[in-house]
């Protein structure tokens, strides 16, 4: 495999499939729980997912300390023991703290690190590129760019994307912008040398058909069976069934988003109903209300019915 003049020997196949964005697992006091983190990791790996995406948006990283994020990575690696591909999101407000997380993740044995652009200050594009370059250069790990303009305020340009591809450690981009055209363009620019991850769960199937090799998503953890079945249908060329599954998944997502509680609080309550207690979402994420509880029961039943029908 060649890329920009380099001869690169690496395994990109391990990044292709279904990657739940891992949820933060807290104890009853709201502290990160190593035990619950390990149990949830086991739960997802036993479902057959390709890998896990740690300490990202779904992992509530913005509300955690570096030490808490390190504990999560350590706990997951202890539980998984090489049975799944692990990508650790290591972006922090400063480059210094991001590199600290990157080097820790490397010591723990993760497969890759990933990062959003720097947040809060609107930095020029060359500064964003340097932020990513500094992190990628701090370890020998594969590096994944995370494009999520709706929360960071920066949309990855083709110019910076192509420039970042000159770095041999950059192996992919997690694209969470809504237009599937972005996926097509990134794939056209990168070809088979780079893995394109679909980000928006509502377009898992559409993103894959437009060129995404894989998917990383925040709702995968509450219904991994449905995404695994959709992935199977895509691989087999059964696009009609894949589309049908996507419509069912989207209906469930809309139901979960229509509650008072934050989406992650709702999904954690659904998991608790299934016997997987990983605590609540951390404030300021809104907790579920009493009015949400019967709605959560209904959406839990809808998830179970879809799994029974399709899986």
Q: Which residues are catalytically annotated? A: 146, 174
The residue assigned the tokens 């056209």 is 188
Rounded-to-integer distance, Cα 252 and Cα 301, Å: 10
Measured distance CA(83)–CA(50) in Å, rounded = 9
Residue 42 C-alpha from the chain's centroid: 17
Residues 6+ apart with CB under 8 A from 35: none
Distance (Å, whole) CA 173 – CA 271: 29
């Amino acid at each position: 495999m060649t890329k920009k003049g380099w001869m690169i020997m690496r395994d990109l196949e391990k990044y292709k499939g279904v990657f739940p964005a891992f949820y933060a697992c807290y104890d009853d006091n709201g502290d990160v729980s190593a035990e619950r983190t390990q149990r949830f990791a086991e739960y997802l790996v036993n479902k057959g997912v390709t890998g896990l995406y740690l300490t990202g948006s779904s992992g509530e990283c913005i509300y955690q300390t570096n030490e808490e994020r390190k504990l999560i990575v350590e706990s997951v690696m202890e539980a998984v023991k090489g049975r799944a591909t692990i990508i650790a999101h290591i972006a922090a407000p400063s480059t210094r703290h991001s590199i600290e997380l990157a080097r820790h993740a490397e010591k723990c044995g993760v497969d890759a690190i990933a990062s959003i652009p720097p947040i809060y200050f609107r930095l020029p594009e060359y500064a964003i590129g340097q932020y990513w370059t500094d992190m990628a250069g701090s370890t020998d790990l594969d590096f994944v760019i995370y494009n999520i303009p709706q929360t960071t305020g920066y949309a990855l340009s083709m110019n910076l994307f192509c420039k970042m591809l000159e770095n041999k450690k950059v192996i992919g981009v997690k694209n969470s912008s809504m237009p599937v055209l972005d996926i097509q363009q990134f794939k056209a620019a990168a070809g088979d040398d780079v893995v394109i991850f679909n980000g928006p769960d509502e377009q898992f199937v559409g993103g894959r058909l437009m060129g995404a090799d894989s998917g990383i998503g925040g709702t995968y953890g509450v219904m991994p069976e449905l995404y695994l079945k959709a992935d199977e249908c895509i691989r087999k060329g059964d696009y009609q069934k894949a589309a049908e599954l996507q419509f069912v998944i989207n209906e469930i997502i809309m139901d979960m988003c229509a509650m008072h509680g934050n989406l992650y609080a709702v999904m954690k309550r659904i998991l608790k109903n299934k016997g997987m207690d990983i605590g609540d979402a951390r404030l300021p994420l809104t907790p579920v209300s009493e009015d949400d509880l019967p709605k959560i029961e209904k959406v839990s039943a809808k998830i179970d019915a879809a799994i029974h029908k399709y899986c």
